[in-house]
Amino acid sequence: GSDSKSSSGGGSVTLNWLTWSDHFANDQLKAVGTKTGITGRPKLFSDNADAILQIKQLGDAFDMVSGDALWDVKYMSDGLIDPMDLSTIDASKELYSVAKSFDFWTNPKGYLGYPFSWSTVQIYYNPDMVKTPPTSWQSLTDPAYKGMVVAENIPTDLLAIAGRATSVKDPYGMSGDELSAAADFLAALKPNLLKLASQNNEVIQLLANKSVAIGVTNLGSEDRVKDAGGPVIKAVYPSEGTIGFIDSEMIVSKGKNKERVPEFLDAMERSDYIAQNFITNGRPLFNESAAKKLLADSKTADRAKRLFMDQPEKALEMTLKGPAGDQQAYTEAFNKVFGA
Amino acid sequence: MSDVVDRRENAIELRGVGKRFGTAVALEPLDLDVRDGEFFCLLGPSGCGKTTTLNLVGGFVSPSSGTISIRGTDVTHLPPHKRPVNTIFQSYALFPHMNVVQNVQFGLRMSRVSKAEREARSQEALALVGLTERASQPVAALSGGQAQRVAIARALVNKPSVLLLDEPLGALDLKLRKRLQVELSLIHRNVGTTFLFVTHDQEEAMALADRIAVMDGGAVQQVGTPEEIYLRPKSRFVADFIGESNIIDGHMDSGVFRAADGFVAPCPSDTPADAKALVVRPEAIRIDSAGLIPAVVTSLSFLGPVTRVTLSIPQSDTMLVSTIHGGAATHQQVGVQPGDHVNVTWDAAAAHAVAD
Amino acid sequence: MSDVVDRRENAIELRGVGKRFGTAVALEPLDLDVRDGEFFCLLGPSGCGKTTTLNLVGGFVSPSSGTISIRGTDVTHLPPHKRPVNTIFQSYALFPHMNVVQNVQFGLRMSRVSKAEREARSQEALALVGLTERASQPVAALSGGQAQRVAIARALVNKPSVLLLDEPLGALDLKLRKRLQVELSLIHRNVGTTFLFVTHDQEEAMALADRIAVMDGGAVQQVGTPEEIYLRPKSRFVADFIGESNIIDGHMDSGVFRAADGFVAPCPSDTPADAKALVVRPEAIRIDSAGLIPAVVTSLSFLGPVTRVTLSIPQSDTMLVSTIHGGAATHQQVGVQPGDHVNVTWDAAAAHAVAD
Amino acid sequence: MPRDADIVAPHGRLVRGLLTLYGVAMYLFLFVPIVVLVLLSFNTSRTVGFPLKHLTLAWYRLLPDDVLIQDALSSSIRIGLWVTAISTVIGTAAAFPLVRARVRYRSVVRVLITLPIMIPGLLIGVSLLILFTDVLKVQPGSSTAIVGQSVLVTPFVILIVAARLQGFDQNLERAASDLGANLVQRMRYVVLPLIAPGILAAALIALTLSIDEFIVTNFLIGSGQTLPIYIYNQIKFGITPEVNALASLMLLGTMLVFALGFAIPPLVRRVRLRRAVVAD
Amino acid sequence: MATNRPAAVTADVSAGASAGRARARWRNAAQFAGFTPAAVLFGLFFLVPLALIVVYSFWRTKDYSLVHDWNLGNYRTFLDTKTYIKTFLKTVVMGVLATTTTIALAMPFCYWLVRYVPKRLQRTLLLLVVLPFWTSYLLRVYSWVAILGDNGALNTILNKLGVTSGGHRYLLYDNPGVYLVLVYLYFPFAVLTLYASLERFDWNLLRAARDLGATPGRALLRVVAPQMRLSIATASIFVFIPILGEYLAPQVVGGTKGVMIGNLIANFFAGFLLPLGSAASVLVALVIVILLVIFRRSLDTGDVYAS
Ligand SMILES: Nc1ncnc2c1ncn2[C@@H]1O[C@H](COP(=O)(O)OP(=O)(O)OP(=O)(O)O)[C@@H](O)[C@H]1O
Ligand SMILES: Nc1ncnc2c1ncn2[C@@H]1O[C@H](COP(=O)(O)OP(=O)(O)OP(=O)(O)O)[C@@H](O)[C@H]1O
Ligand SMILES: [Mg+2]
Ligand SMILES: [Mg+2]
């Protein structure tokens, strides 16, 4: 069926795609390119706030952008994306139905994004390196952990975590006072942070080579650290609760080749690729067929189960990542603590 | 002889030509005639305006006033590449990216002379300077003397009305310089082109030139043959600049020249009354017991062909220099020692008065 | 007189001193004595090893062989700052960041002379060179001549046993050079320090030196007074390098010197049998109808004190140069024209034979 | 001039030895990171780090297949060629008046020209970004990056060509004029052939500067990628020895370009000479 | 001055002898024609943007769009925030330290190069010093992580030698690491500048000093050092100013502690805080301008880069 599609699509094009590194693999891009004539050209970013700025400024330079849960809503309200009709994309039949009906992505004009993966952000630690294991966000400020912690450099989310730590109601919509209390928490945490990692991979690497003892990172990190030849690390679900993401691919409304995006997604989001993606990046995805494949294989079944590959509804229990109410205030508060 | 010369056409005529750079006067308005076929030297100390004069003729500098004619044609407003003159620069300015013959042919190429003629004329020019064999050598491989000859060939091949030479021997060492002076002189005799030659070396000018213009401070001080300039300098400056001279300040006092220091100095009978100084060349000064001027020998130095004797006149600041000539083997002992009291004199005709 | 000189102590003694740079021989092993208080010149063409010799004495180059003594002390292995010599460099090497008096005091500061003495001695040295008033001027503001005098003061203030001078006048123009030669000579007479002076200008060497070592190709060719070297050159090279000379190839043939071109050339009766050439100075050559050597006048040029006559000998390549002397006013017409057939000769005693 | 070591000095050898040792140490300091870079490109381990496990060419084999790298490479080269062309033309044009015109405040002009070299690229990048996006409303992309890089690179071209021109004997031009060459002929036959090596060197340097430029490019390239930006992303988002392999090849490439740049002029000269000899 | 004369003479060549006054004036203007494209390039794309930053530093943003009301708020924010001010001062201190070290290392190096290395080798060795410029700047920085990091080359070697065991990191993710990498990055700049002037140095002066009784050390101190002052200043400027804007090196090797002002600026702009970023840039530019004014005498160094 795909053959007829590529001919109907009309020739080979390049799709500019602003995304994270764990949304694709090079051989996948190559295979999809050969098959459909659509070459995905990814440009990487680290922070939703970055990405939305780039889409705002560069508009027609991209056809597709990746984004997290409530950020998609902001994209929509800023008029940056076109909702899609999932039913026209064959591959969406492989998705869990819950993923196709998140209410925050539901819009009269269509679905805001093509669901991809999700994860909570939690604490991992290396039991060989810390005497008293952390139990909560607050406990991370313990001077005993000086220079032993790493987190990703995502200002909004770090502040949201700080909001969790200081028990505010809405971590993404903190008031001025709440924000400065959260900033104080980060300031207290700062001496313990060895560095802010540019990307999740780096967190894994630092844990693996024992540069740090504690990482604030996604589900499945224990496997990835082990895969990278690192030590056994343990997960802690912080007592204050945590945040998490549900991410997706969106169609940029000014994209020059945006009409080819569904065709591209159709090829990219097939269960074989998604299963492989799970193995490489180790956090749950919304592709039910992939989940089935993984569960059927004894080598991966245990891991897929442990990482909730079969429980997509769990994703809705987290505080979802999203834009801050006053994004600038968040950025400023973060800068004031870290400078960078 | 001067009759013969005067009938020749003038190769170059400067009329009231002056040059200012901003407010600085590099050249006072001057008139100058260079006769056809002449070897003419501009001689003067550094900064006197020699190069400026040459550049005016070559067209590299435009005059602030006056007109310049070459062979009767007014060229004042022509750019360099339209003037019938060629220049030999001090550093020769050979094009380093071309070989010898390419350098020589450059001017012909620029004036779109046919290839055949170019070949013929460049061969001829190279033959003239004796470099036929080096035609295809890169110019970097040439010695100083060869480079100079290439520069000459490159200029002469264009059959210029006038050849301008700006201290072409200035950078060479003494021996080579002497040799090239002889060559230059021969080439001039062979081609008959007018040479306008700049130098600050008076010996070189004397050795080469038919006529010399002595310049100073942007003005021409005297024009004349080497003999005229050496024997009858018009000013103290010329006397001092050309050769070595004893200049004795003083004035005419009832038919005799009385030096400022009191003694009476022999002078020609036709010395004008406004004479301010006498010029006496060292080779004219004799140590002679019959002399009327008493002096003390302060130093002696043997210089080879001559021995130089410095003399001071008692109770005065005047120092005289005498050079005593001696053929090598007949080198008579000068017969004096430093400290000796002697008398000196010179032939009255050997003294020449200047009025400044 | 040479007896008196010999009793003086030697200021510098080089014994078998040679220098190689890698495989290139800059200086063949040589012996050289410079007497105390003497003005000694090293003279030779570029690259002959003059500077190397001076540097060996100054300690700027270490010898490949031999020993160097200064006033009887072996200094071969002493670094420059421990040798009792001072140097005047060709470019003077004045410290541009210090003023005149600071430059002069530098050596005293280095040897930790007290401030009072430093002041006194530097004043004295500046007075010697006549620059007392310029003591606090920056050295950049000095003229070439003044800079040279500062360099001299800076060296002499240290009361060196020997003053080394490497072409100190090389960069100056002719007039200034002549003036500074006189000054240098006076200073030498006043301070009595030994001067070891390097130059490639033979006139300068003749004018200044008590004795000259003529060098060529890293070896000393002849050592002697200016007279000895001019009148009795030991080799063709020396004859050619010092002054102008006519060198006539030939050989002794039963008591007379037969030139390679066939004519018989007058020579002294004691000419050795192995003579290969005769050296005759131009000023010794006379145009004389009684002369036995026929010649044709090829050119005449008036040079001021002398007129230079070039003569060619028919049926031979030999060219002779004669300089005819004339005091300015008594300047007799030379009496010949180019193309004239004349006879020339010289006094037998004026010819000197060389064996190479 | 004899070298210092020649001066009669008791400790001469020691000083010489110590200084030489120091010099070598500094070269080590300069080159160890580069050696490490190259070494790691042969390491089998996926993560960049020691100890080296086994040596492999696998990372080099990946390069031809990597679309991102190919994209980045081609846009680097495209941008590089543009920047080279622009800066060489503009820079050469500016070098002439800089050296030759009666410039009143020549040193002030020189300083102005060096400013873009000295001012941190960060400032140039952000200020140009503001200009383009906010004032001129031009969308960032290759063309804006080309402009930005040209600002950075042109000063180098000016300085290099000016230096060459400074050493150019003006008498040659006057001689040409004297021999009948007009302005165009003087340029064509004398000036340009003689300063060509300077222009070539400037162009080569412009090209390498452009290809390695990151800071300004990153601000101005928009959605595009160049090699340095690709590398930056790799560093940011998980580096693999593939990047090292790429960098090693690039190093090899620049060295080849420069070796050619140095070797060609003498070669041309020699060929020209031989031709001249043969023609005779 | 000497350089001005031939220039003036050529001006005359082009003016030829064809001089009407108006024409001469026109020619006079024409000689500057070559500057035009460069003037447009630098004017429009260098000076104007820099002026823009100044303007922007007095505006503010609200929800990612610019509000054009003039105020000093950005400066106040910057100066009131301890992290910013500390980072700014830290950057200056870091710059000073790294610059002094760089110069101190480059001096003896250049001395060695000029005095102890044969002339014909000097060019090649100098070329080797700049060779690193031809490798990716980013990777050269990153390479230090591979050298100093926990599994780095240094750690591996020390482990092999038995000096240490296990994973250790050296200097990384802190100011000392940034310092080391800055010195590494800018050493070639300093070498180029100092070499250019040492090469022109009249070594006869050193010999004159020796001749006048100075020991080698004192000769260097009293004669060479004072005259190098100007070029040391030049080298310092050429190293210090770019360091002020560094942000990649601290980002890669600095961790949370090694942050410099450049990171702040880059971050502000990434977060669309254009006015605040502009204000920080203006402060940096201010420091630069002050330095340029103070050291204006040592700036005419075109030949440094030309070499
Ligand atoms: N382009 C110029 N601008 C200003 N002044 C100039 C220029 N060219 C020459 N001069 C001045 O004009 C005067 C004459 O200079 P010119 O070059 O003609 O001297 P010269 O006799 O050739 O000297 P030298 O023997 O040193 O070459 C000098 O004072 C010189 O400084
Ligand atoms: N440091 C050196 N290394 C190699 N060769 C040298 C060195 N110094 C001098 N030479 C060589 O030694 C020879 C003598 O040089 P020296 O400088 O003594 O000559 P010079 O008589 O002073 O010449 P000039 O009159 O040109 O100064 C020359 O051939 C020169 O090239
Ligand atoms: Mg001149
Ligand atoms: Mg010498």
In tens, the pLDDT along C27-55 reads: 999 999 999 999 999 999 988 999 999 99
Q: How far is the CA of C53 from the centre of ligand 2 (A)?
A: 10
In tens, the pLDDT along B30-45 reads: 999 999 999 999 999 9
pLDDT in the model for residue B330: 38
Q: How confident is the model at residue C234 (pLDDT cuts 50, 70, 90)?
A: very high
* Ligand 1 pocket test target in B19, B20, B27, B50 with most atoms within 8 Å of CB: B50
Ligand 2 within 6 A of CB of C26:
yes
Provide φ and ψ at B258, rounded to 5°. -105, 120
Low-confidence ranges of chain E (pLDDT < 50): 1-19, 302-307
Q: How far apart are CA B270 and CA B348, in angstroms?
A: 10
**B335 or C275, higher pLDDT:** C275
For the ranges B106-120, B268-282, C125-139, D162-176, the lowest mean pLDDT is seen at D162-176
Subunit contact C79:E210, Cβ cutoff 8 A: yes
Name all contacts of D263-271 with Cβ < 8 Å and 24+ positions apart.
Answer: D264/D200, D265/D197, D265/D200
> Which residues in chain D are closer than 8 Å to E249, comparing Cβ atoms?
none
* Number of C-beta neighbours around residue C190 at 10 A: 10
pLDDT in the model for residue C326: 62
The tokens for B275 are 């004479």
Instruction: Provide the residues around ligand 3 (an ion) whose CB is within 5 A.
Output: B 51
* Ligand 2 pocket test target in C19, C20, C21 with most atoms within 8 Å of CB: C21
> Which residues in chain C are closer than 8 Å to D7, comparing Cβ atoms?
59-62, 79-80
pLDDT in the model for residue D276: 53
Residue of C nearest to E213 (CA): C81
Residues C223-227 have a mean pLDDT of 93
**A2 or D241, higher pLDDT:** D241
pLDDT in the model for residue E63: 66
pLDDT in the model for residue A92: 94
Q: What is the DSSP letter of A148?
A: -
Q: At what angle do helices E48-56 and D121-129 cross, to 10 degrees?
A: 80
At which residue do the structure tokens 């207290």 appear? A188
pLDDT in the model for residue E2: 37
Subunit contact B346:C325, Cβ cutoff 8 A: no
Q: Is the pLDDT confidence value at C310 over 50?
A: yes
The ipTM is 0.80
pLDDT in the model for residue E25: 67
Residue C321 β-bridge partners: C310
* Number of C-beta neighbours around residue D269 at 10 A: 14
Provide φ and ψ at B310, rounded to 5°. -100, 135
> Which residues in chain B are closer than 8 Å to D276, comparing Cβ atoms?
99, 136, 138
Subunit contact D238:A199, Cβ cutoff 8 A: yes
> B77 — contact with chain E (CB < 8 Å)?
yes
Residues within a 6 A CB radius of ligand 1: B 21, 24, 26, 44, 46-52, 200; E 5, 8-9
pLDDT in the model for residue E64: 66
* Ligand 1 pocket test target in B21, B41, B90, B165 with most atoms within 8 Å of CB: B21
Q: How far is the CA of D2 from the centre of ligand 2 (A)?
A: 9
Reported residue count of chain B is 356
In percent, the amount of chain D with pLDDT more than 90 equals: 28
Q: Is A247 left (phi over 0), alpha (psi -120 to 50) or beta?
A: beta
Contacts of A among chains (3+ CB pairs under 8 A): D, E
pLDDT in the model for residue C5: 45
Q: Is the pLDDT confidence value at C328 over 80?
A: no
Q: How far is the CA of C50 from the centre of ligand 4 (A)?
A: 6
Residues C53-69 have a mean pLDDT of 94
pLDDT in the model for residue D33: 92
Q: Is the dihedral of CA C269, C274, C277, C279 positive or negative?
A: negative
In tens, the pLDDT along A219-272 reads: 889 888 888 888 999 999 999 988 999 999 999 999 999 999 999 999 999 999
In tens, the pLDDT along B229-258 reads: 998 999 999 999 998 889 999 999 888 899
The tokens for C217 are 């190709």
* Number of C-beta neighbours around residue E160 at 10 A: 11
pTM for this entry: 0.82
pLDDT in the model for residue B329: 36
pLDDT in the model for residue A118: 94
> Which residues in chain B are closer than 8 Å to D167, comparing Cβ atoms?
none
User: According to DSSP H, which parts of chain C are helical?
Assistant: 2-7, 50-58, 100-110, 115-128, 144-156, 174-191, 202-208, 226-231, 236-241
Q: How far is the CA of C52 from the centre of ligand 2 (A)?
A: 6
Q: How far is the CA of B166 from the centre of ligand 3 (A)?
A: 7
Subunit contact B77:E15, Cβ cutoff 8 A: no
For the ranges B38-47, C153-162, C284-293, the lowest mean pLDDT is seen at C284-293
Subunit contact D174:B95, Cβ cutoff 8 A: no
In tens, the pLDDT along E107-164 reads: 999 999 998 998 888 888 988 898 887 788 888 998 898 899 887 888 888 888 888 8
Q: Is the pLDDT confidence value at B180 over 50?
A: yes
Q: How confident is the model at residue B18 (pLDDT cuts 50, 70, 90)?
A: very high
pLDDT in the model for residue A198: 76
> Which residues in chain C are closer than 8 Å to D2, comparing Cβ atoms?
55, 60-61
CA distance D48 to chain E (A): 7
Q: What is the DSSP letter of C279?
A: E
B–E CB contacts, 8 A cutoff, strictly below: 32
Residue D263 β-bridge partners: none
C–D CB contacts, 8 A cutoff, strictly below: 24
pLDDT in the model for residue E26: 66
Q: How far is the CA of B216 from the centre of ligand 3 (A)?
A: 13
> Which residues in chain A are closer than 8 Å to E73, comparing Cβ atoms?
none
Residues D204-212 have a mean pLDDT of 88
